[in-house]
Amino acid sequence: MKRIFACFAALACFAVSAHAEETQVAVAANFTAPMKQIAEAFEKDTGHRAQLTFGSTGKLYAQINNGAPFDILLSADEKTPARLVEEGAGVAGSNFPYAIGTLVLWSAQPDFVDAEGKVLQNGKFAHLAIADARNAPYGAAAEAVLRALNLYEPLHARFVTGENIGQTYQFVASGNAELGFVALSQIMEGGKVSRGSYWQPAADLYPTIRQDAVLLKRAENNAAARALLDYLRGERAHAVLRDFGYAIPE
């Protein structure tokens, strides 16, 4: 009897692996940690595998236009996926919001950033890390906050600009910048902020960071790509999003 059960188990595993496919996913830098967790769970649950490449949304868009073999883009904004659809590189109707991001001002030093963000006006710091607004939506959001507070020009000389939000985080985490604007997801671990001090700007100070996904034309018939997009809408992925401080799109 044990041999029969073992045989059935082996056949089941073979059936999953026989139909399993791989998908190449371009992922916005702010979504690095949660996507690694989601991809691992996705492979366990479906047998499909997701190969991940991280970078700024603007750079990933340029790579797609230059022929990079991506199947899916997980953007840090909603405009880039819509643009890819308009230009014919994305599958019409496949773009949808998978997460709502949150911007924070963060320092790796405890008690350096106060709960109201007054450190921007009163604090003694030489460097403020900010992502390149031309390529990174979180950088554009940070600029919007500083302009709303009339601090963009006074602080501009102190900017240390990261190519993407991942590099911006590294500037602050390493101490090369005393503080900087990063994604809340980058400082979350197990549902809480892991270290340092932070201020969360009011949502009305910057445009909503709606992050959209899109299926690219080359993967229109890729089962793994379509399965991953469905998986991102499911509760397993949503639980990961909540742990990293993202809001779930309606």
Residue 1 has pLDDT above 60, yes or no: no
Tell me which H or E stretch contains 19.
helix 2-19
Q: Which fold has domain 102-205?
A: D-Maltodextrin-Binding Protein; domain 2 (3.40.190)
Give me 37's structure tokens: 């967790």
For 204-244, the pLDDT digits (tens) are 999 999 999 999 999 999 999 999 999 999 999 999 999 99
Whole-number pLDDT of residue 101: 95
Distance CA 68, CA 25 (A): 11
Is the CB of residue 145 less than 8 Å from the CB of residue 181?
Answer: yes
Domain spans in the chain, listed from the N-terminal domain onward:
2-100+210-243, 102-205
Q: Which of 56-60, 84-88, 164-168, 189-193 has the lowest mean pLDDT?
A: 189-193
For 86-105, the pLDDT digits (tens) are 999 999 999 999 999 999 99
Whole-number pLDDT of residue 20: 79
Distance CA 74, CA 57 (A): 8
> Same fold for the domain at 2-100+210-243 and the one at 102-205?
yes
- Helix, strand or coil, per DSSP, at residue 39: helix
Confidence of residue 8 (pLDDT cuts 50, 70, 90): very low
Residue 13 has pLDDT above 60, yes or no: no
Distance CA 92, CA 82 (A): 9
Confidence of residue 19 (pLDDT cuts 50, 70, 90): low
Residue 65 has pLDDT above 80, yes or no: yes
Distance CA 1, CA 8 (A): 11
Distance CA 97, CA 77 (A): 9
Residue from 133, 120, 157 nearest 206 by CA: 133
CATH superfamily of 2-100+210-243: Periplasmic binding protein-like II (3.40.190.10)
For 183-207, the pLDDT digits (tens) are 999 999 878 898 999 999 999 999 9
